[in-house]
Amino acid sequence: MSGIKTLGQFIIEKQADFSYAKGELSRLLRDIGIAAKIVNREVNKAGLVDILGDAGTVNIQGEGQKKLDIFANTQFISALTSGGECCIVATEEEDEFVPIDSPVSKNAKYIVCIDPLDGSSNIDVNVAVGTIFSIYRRKSTDGMATIADVLQKGTEQVAAGYVIYGSSTMLVYTTGKGVNGFTLDPSIGEFCLSHPDLKMPEDGSIYSINEGNYVHFPKGVKKYIKYAQVHDAATNRPYTSRYIGSMVADIHRNLIKGGIYIYPTTASSPNGKLRLLYECNPMAFIVEQAGGFASDGFKRILEIEPVELHQRSSIFIGSKKMVRMAEQMMTEFALEAGAINM
Ligand code: AHG
Ligand code: MN
Ligand code: MN
């Protein structure tokens, strides 16, 4: 056991790096880690208990909710409520943001945006799912926190992370000083540092996209897919196609091996499918901190000004060179169509 560093120990050790409300942010990260362990416990025995399948409800985005979506949502809100460091939770599973109004959270300084369970369509078939979270400072100084506290640009994030419930369970997070990954050791029930200072390869040879939607993709994306499939030994093409359908798992793999994940606009999702506040921004922050890049096809994800809670965005995220190449192709067609000026 010697040399093992737990998430709790690591957070405290790194606390000196935070510029603001150090103890509070440490406790908030710890609370998220605890909720993740509870969700992990349920995910792991999902087939044995009555937690698989549809809940019979639909969220604001018209998506059917799974029982585990609701369970994970409840666990994270409850951990953040009793922790006392968070004044608002904005979650995929609730129409409006959830103000935390408990005696312990009276002076809470942080906002959390969360996708409690990412990859819902994979839950029932034992494929990796995840949790994504993003943390902001509260901007307002008195009264109840408001929607303006939630609608901050991704560049304002103080921390972001994801949990992947996969062949092992990992928690990966950043506070803006690099990215570190922890693997849950079930024998001691602790996340232990396993991937210190994660770096994403600058280039890669994996592309991840739901190619079934090809016919609806913008021309730039079609061109990039064709580019990925051309033989060219010098640039390691054709690339390998890998698509799990859980954003967390797809991006986690690409982060380690090098690759690009794309969810563009389509006919059925003209603004993209993934949500800016609790999917795109946190993953963009992590990937950039690991040396990668995230774009909506034309501009940096982290600089998009959010105007609504469940706002969607297209996303091109991963190894920097791959994302830049895809952006170049998007721009080329947009210029041709007169959709943008340079
Ligand atoms: P969620 O389960 O939180 O709604 O997110 C699902 C997202 C993302 O995880 C995944 O990459 C993508 O939807 C898959 O969408 P398609 O099935 O359209 O490919
Ligand atoms: Mn999701
Ligand atoms: Mn989800």
- The tens-digit pLDDT sequence of the chain (342 residues) is 568 999 999 999 998 887 777 889 999 999 999 999 999 999 988 777 777 888 888 888 888 888 899 999 999 999 999 999 999 999 999 999 999 988 888 789 999 999 999 998 898 899 999 999 999 999 999 888 999 999 999 999 999 999 999 999 999 999 999 999 999 999 999 999 999 999 999 999 999 999 999 999 999 999 999 999 999 999 999 999 999 999 999 999 999 999 999 999 998 899 999 999 999 999 999 999 999 999 999 999 999 999 999 999 999 999 999 999 999 999 999 888 877 666
Is 243 part of any known ligand binding site? yes
Q: Is there a contact between 49 and 221 (Cβ–Cβ < 8 Å)?
A: no
Residue with token string 């943001």: 97
Count of alpha carbons within 13 Å of 240, Cβ hemisphere only?
10
In short, whether 249's Cβ falls inside 6 Å of ligand 1 is no
Least distant ligand from the CA of 71: 3
Q: List the shell of residues around ion ligand 3, using CB closer than 5 Å.
A: 92, 115, 117-118
Q: Is 180 in the pocket of ligand 1 (CB under 6 A)?
A: no
Give the model's pLDDT for residue 1: 52
What per-residue string of b and e applies to 79-113 under the rule 16 or more CB within 10 Å gives b?
bbbebbbbbbbbbbbbeebbebeeeebeebbbbbb
Q: Is the CB of 247 under 6 A from ligand 1?
A: yes
Can you give the pLDDT at residue 2?
A: 63
Determine the distance separating the centroid of ligand 1 and the alpha carbon of 55, expressed in angstroms.
18
93 lines ligand 1 (CB under 6 A): no
Contact 5, 192 (CB under 8 A): yes
Spatial contact of 89 and 145, defined as CB atoms under 8 Å apart: no
How far apart are the C-alpha atoms of 159 and 29, rounded to whole Å? 9
| Gap between the Cα atoms of 297 and 222, Å rounded | 13
End-to-end CA distance of the chain: 58
3-class DSSP state for residue 15?
Answer: helix
Ligand 1: distance of its center to the CA of 175 in Å? Answer: 25
CA-CA distance, 57 to 53, in Å (whole number)? 11
Closest ligand 1 atom to 244 CA: 11
Distance CA 43, CA 117 (A): 10
Using alpha carbons only, what angle is made at residue 279 by residues 133 and 218, rounded to the nearest 5 degrees? 170
C-beta separation of 278 from 308 below 8 A: no
Closest CA to 109 of 73, 149, 77, 51: 149
- Ligand 1, pocket-test mutation among 68, 118, 216, most atoms within 8 A of CB: 118
Q: 213: Cβ below 6 Å to ligand 1?
A: no
Give the pLDDT confidence score for residue 342 in this predicted structure.
Answer: 65
Take atom 3 of ligand 1 and give the residue whose Cα is closest.
118
Instruction: Give the model's pLDDT for residue 85.
Output: 95
Contacts (Cβ under 8 Å, ≥6 apart) of 120: 63, 65, 66, 68, 69, 129
Amino acid identity for residue 65 in this structure: Q
Beta bridge partners of 169: 165
Phi, psi of 141, deg, nearest 5:
-110, -15
For the CA of 250, the closest atom of ligand 1 is 11
Establish whether 259 is an annotated binding residue. no
Query: What domains can you pick out in the chain, each with its CATH number?
Result: 7-195 (3.30.540.10), 206-337 (3.40.190.80)
Residue pair 90/134 in contact (Cβ under 8 Å)? The answer is no
For atom 15 of ligand 1, the residue with the nearest CA is: 245
Place of tokens 């010697």: 2
Angle at 74 between CA 69 and CA 78, to 5 degrees: 150
Give the list of residues 6+ apart from residue 100 with CB closer than 8 angstroms, or none: 80, 81, 86, 87, 88, 89, 108
Taking the CA atoms of the chain, what radius of gyration do you get in angstroms?
20
**Is 111:309 a contact under the CB 8 Å cutoff?**
no
